Amino acid sequence: MHMDNAAFEPVRDWSPYPPVDVTIRADVSQGWLKRISPIVVTHRRRIFWSVLAAVVAMVAQILVPRVIGLAIDGALIDQRQSLWAFVLALLVLGAARAGSTFGYRYGLYGMAFRVEYQLRTLLFQHLGRLSFAFYDRVQSGQIISRANSDIRSVQMFMAFAPIMAVQFFSFVIAIGLMAAISVPLTAITMIALPGVFAIGQRLRKIMFPLSWVVQSRQAEIATVVDESVSGVRVVKAFAAERQQIEALARGAERLRWANLVQHRTRASHTPFIENFPRLALAAVLLIGGQQTIAGSLSVGDLVSFNLYILLLQAPFRFIGMLLILGQRAKASAKRIYEVLDEPVGVDDKPGAVDLVTSGGNISFSRVTFAYGTETVGGTQGIEKPPKVLNEFELEIPAGQSIAIVGRTGSGKSTVARLLMRFYEVQQGSISLDGQDIASVTQASLRSAVGLVPDEPFLFSTSVHENIAYGRPGSTRESVEEAARAAQAHNFIMGLEDGYDTIIGERGYDLSGGQRQRISLARLFLQDPTVIILDDSTSSIDVEIEERIHGSLKDLLKGRTTVVIAHRLSTISLAQRVVLIEDGRIVADGSHQHLLDTEPRYAETLAATVEDDRGKTW
C-alpha cells in the first residue's frame, strides 16, 4: 500500500457543494450591514426583481382606496359612470397584487435563505480553519448558538427588511395621494409622526443590548445541554443529574428574565407607535365629516382619505417589528463576526507548496512552545504560560520507530500535535524530509502524517464510512482489509448490519477497545508515510493488543513511527526510546539500555505502571 517518492494528491477535489468564495468586509469599524453587504450583493438581481414586484404590489394596494372613492362619487352618488368599470378595475388591481405579492415574497425569502446558507457555510469553513487554540478556550455551546440561532436572526431580518422598506415606500405614495385630496387633512394626519419617530428611536436604543443578552443566554443554555449530553457518563457516574438540571434551570431562569424584559419593553412601546395614527383618524373623521356636510369635500374623497389612514397603519405596525428584528439581527451579526474575525492561527502561508515525502525523516530544531500564547483578538496574554517544550531537539531518521516517554505534562503529546501542525511553534522549526512543515500545505502534511489519538473519535455514520473517513471513495474490500489488519473485522461482522451498522454518537455504543480498533483501521487505510500512535491501544485487552501489535509491526516496516508511550507494551513497537523532562530530551537509547543506565527512565516507567493500575475503569 505504501508508496515512496509520491507527490501529494487530494483525496477529493470535487464537491457538489462548492465552498463560499465571498466573505464579510474585514473592517470592524463598519456597521454590521456594510460588513455583510458583499454576501448580499451576490443576490442583487433577485433583490432587484423582488423589490420591483413588491413596488407593483404596493402600488396596486394604494390605488384601491382611490378607485373606491371615485366609484362612490361617480357611480353611486352622481351616477355619471358605470359601476362595472370600477369593479373591473378593482379585480385587475387584486390580480396584480396577488401575482406580484407571490413574486416578491418568493424572491426575498429565497434571497434570505441563500444568505443564511452562505453565512452558515462561511462560518463553518472558518471554524474548520481555526487552530486548536481557539477550541481550547471557546465553549462548544457558544459556537453552536452562533451557527444556528444567531444566523437565523440575521436571515429573518434579511427576509422582512426589504418588505418593510417597500411598506414605507407605499407610505410616501399614500401621503402624496392624500395631499391631492386635501392638504389640511394630510397635515393633520402627519401630526402623529414626530411622536412615533421619538418612541421608535427609544425602542431601538433599548432593544440592541437586550437582544445581545438574550442571544448570549441562549448560548449558555446550549453549552449546558451540550456538556450534559456529551458528558452523560460522567454525570451519571457521580449521580450529578440534579446538579446539571439546576445548572440548566439557572440558565433558563436568566433567559426567561431577559426575554420578559425584552417583551415588556416591546409591549410598552409598540401600542403608542401603532395607535398614534388612530388619533389622526379620529381628527380626520371629525374635520373631514364637517367638510363633507358643508359640501367642500365629497363623500368618496372622505372614504378614500380614511381608507388611506387605515392603510398607513400597516407601516406603523411594522416599525416596532422592524426595530426588534433589526436590533436582534445586529446583536447576532456581531456575535457571528466575533468568530469570523478570529485569526486563523495556523494557516497555509502564501506560496505554500505540497509536501513530497521520500521516506519520512523528521527533525525538531530548537523548538520552543507553550500553550495559551496565541494572539487572541489582537491582544497578547498578560501572564506568560510555562514552556511545554524548551529548545527541544530531536532527529528521527526515515523508517525508524521511536517511543517518546515522560511523566504526565512532560510534552509527549505536544510533540505529536506540533508535528501535525495543530499548533504553531513559537521558536525553532520542524522539518519533514528537509521541508519545513510551516511552508507546506496542511492538507499534504496531514495526508503524509497519520495520527491515532488516545481517545478515538467516531462519527454518527456507518462503520464503513468511519474507516474510510480519510479516503471516502474506498471500496468495501479495502475497508475490510484495513479492519482485518486492526483486528476489527470479526467484531464488526458481529454487529447487526456489519459494516453498514450506524454507530451511535461518538461511538459510545461500542467498547473503548472497539473504538480504538476502528480508529486504527482508519489509519491502515490512510497508508501514511509517518505514523503517530498516541497510546492507541490503551483500551484494548492484552491478547488483542498483541495481535494488533503484530499487524502494526508489518504496517510500520519502512515507515517513520512516533509512539507516544504511556504503557510498557507500546514501547515494544519502537526501536529507540527518548525520555522527556522539562521540555527537553534527557535520555536517548534502546529500552534495555535506558533501563540499565538511566534511573529517571525506570522511575518514569514505574510511575506509568502505577497510573495504569489506578485506572479502574
Inform me whether the pLDDT recorded for 414 exceeds 50: yes
If you count them, how many residues does the chain have?
A: 617
User: Is residue 302 a part of any domain in this protein?
Assistant: yes
SS (H, E, C) 440-477: ECHHHHHHHEEEECCCCCCCCCEHHHHHCCCCCCCCHH
Inform me whether the pLDDT recorded for 83 exceeds 90: no
Residue (of 344, 528, 351, 553) closest to 432 by Cα position? 528
Report DSSP state, residue 335: H
Inform me whether the pLDDT recorded for 216 exceeds 80: no
User: Is residue 355 a part of any domain in this protein?
Assistant: no
The grid cell for 120 is 452558515
Residue (of 298, 268, 303) closest to 284 by Cα position? 303
> 3-state DSSP call for residue 393?
strand
pLDDT digit string, tens, across residues 3-53: 444 555 555 544 566 667 788 898 888 989 899 999 999 998 998 999 899
For residues 369 and 261, state if they share a domain: no
Residue (of 98, 54, 69) closest to 309 by Cα position? 69
Phi first, then psi: give them for residue 415, nearest 5 degrees: -60, -45
Report DSSP state, residue 589: E
Confidence of residue 1 (pLDDT cuts 50, 70, 90): very low
For residues 368 and 317, state if they share a domain: no
Inform me whether the pLDDT recorded for 425 exceeds 70: yes
User: Is residue 394 a part of any domain in this protein?
Assistant: yes
For residues 270 and 414, state if they share a domain: no
Residue type at 123 in one-letter notation: L
Residue (of 519, 525, 553) closest to 447 by Cα position? 525
The confidence score (pLDDT) of residue 367 equals 93
The grid cell for 71 is 366609484
Mean pLDDT score across all residues of the chain: 80
User: Is residue 56 a part of any domain in this protein?
Assistant: yes
Cβ–Cβ under 8 Å, residues 284 and 237: no
Find the domain containing 557 and state its range: 362-374+385-614
The confidence score (pLDDT) of residue 184 equals 82
| Residue 579 to residue 389: CA distance in whole angstroms | 13
Average pLDDT on 512-529 reads 84
> 3-state DSSP call for residue 588?
strand
For residues 255 and 403, state if they share a domain: no
For residues 439 and 562, state if they share a domain: yes
The confidence score (pLDDT) of residue 234 equals 60
CATH number of the CATH domain containing 488? 3.40.50.300
Who contacts 215 (Cβ-Cβ below 8 Å, separation ≥6)?
145, 149, 150, 153, 328, 331, 332, 335
The confidence score (pLDDT) of residue 187 equals 80
For the chain, the maximum distance between any two Cα atoms, rounded to a whole number of angstroms, is 120
Inform me whether the pLDDT recorded for 464 exceeds 90: yes
Overall number of domains in the chain: 2
Work out the percent of the chain whose per-residue pLDDT is above 90.
Answer: 13
| Residue 145 to residue 362: CA distance in whole angstroms | 41
Cβ of 493: how many Cβ atoms within 10 Å?
12
Phi first, then psi: give them for residue 514, nearest 5 degrees: -65, -40
Estimate the crossing angle of helix 44-71 against helix 83-129, to 10 degrees. 160
| Residue 95 to residue 611: CA distance in whole angstroms | 79
The confidence score (pLDDT) of residue 535 equals 66
User: Is residue 103 a part of any domain in this protein?
Assistant: yes
| Residue 434 to residue 449: CA distance in whole angstroms | 15
More confident residue, 548 or 78: 78
The confidence score (pLDDT) of residue 49 equals 92
| Residue 185 to residue 300: CA distance in whole angstroms | 15
Phi first, then psi: give them for residue 376, nearest 5 degrees: -125, 115
Q: How far is CA 79 from CA 63, 75, 82, 300, in A?
A: 21, 4, 7, 13
Phi first, then psi: give them for residue 503, nearest 5 degrees: -80, 140
Paired residues of 395 in beta bridges: 363
The confidence score (pLDDT) of residue 442 equals 87
Residue (of 112, 118, 189) closest to 154 by Cα position? 112
For residues 201 and 144, state if they share a domain: yes
For residues 216 and 69, state if they share a domain: yes
Inform me whether the pLDDT recorded for 613 exceeds 50: no
Inform me whether the pLDDT recorded for 125 exceeds 60: yes
For residues 368 and 235, state if they share a domain: no
Q: How far is CA 1 from CA 314, 487, 557, in A?
A: 70, 18, 12
Residue (of 526, 553, 557, 550) closest to 398 by Cα position? 557
CATH number of the CATH domain containing 295? 1.20.1560.10
Confidence of residue 616 (pLDDT cuts 50, 70, 90): very low
The confidence score (pLDDT) of residue 408 equals 80
Regarding beta strands 427-432 and 560-564, do their DSSP bridges make them parallel or antiparallel, or are they unpaired? unpaired
Inform me whether the pLDDT recorded for 617 exceeds 50: no
Exposure string of 362-376, with b = 16+ CB inside 10 Å and e = fewer, is bbbbebbbbeebbee
Who contacts 328 (Cβ-Cβ below 8 Å, separation ≥6)?
153, 157, 207, 211, 214, 215
pLDDT digit string, tens, across residues 91-108: 998 999 899 989 988 998
Regarding beta strands 427-432 and 362-369, do their DSSP bridges make them parallel or antiparallel, or are they unpaired? antiparallel
pTM of the predicted model as reported, rounded to 2 decimal places: 0.71
For residues 492 and 580, state if they share a domain: yes
Regarding beta strands 427-432 and 435-436, do their DSSP bridges make them parallel or antiparallel, or are they unpaired? antiparallel
User: Is residue 267 a part of any domain in this protein?
Assistant: yes
Average pLDDT on 587-596 reads 89
The grid cell for 451 is 495520527
> 3-state DSSP call for residue 429?
strand
pLDDT digit string, tens, across residues 147-191: 888 888 898 888 888 877 777 777 778 788 878 888 888 887 777
| Residue 306 to residue 272: CA distance in whole angstroms | 20
User: Is residue 349 a part of any domain in this protein?
Assistant: no
| Residue 465 to residue 483: CA distance in whole angstroms | 12
For residues 310 and 404, state if they share a domain: no
> 3-state DSSP call for residue 249?
helix
The cell 456507518 sits on which residue? 462
For residues 313 and 425, state if they share a domain: no
Paired residues of 451 in beta bridges: 532
Burial class, 481, CB count within 10 angstroms (exposed 0-12 / middle 13-18 / buried 19+): middle
The grid cell for 489 is 473485522
User: Is residue 8 a part of any domain in this protein?
Assistant: no
For residues 390 and 329, state if they share a domain: no
The confidence score (pLDDT) of residue 99 equals 92
| Residue 123 to residue 146: CA distance in whole angstroms | 9
Inform me whether the pLDDT recorded for 428 exceeds 50: yes
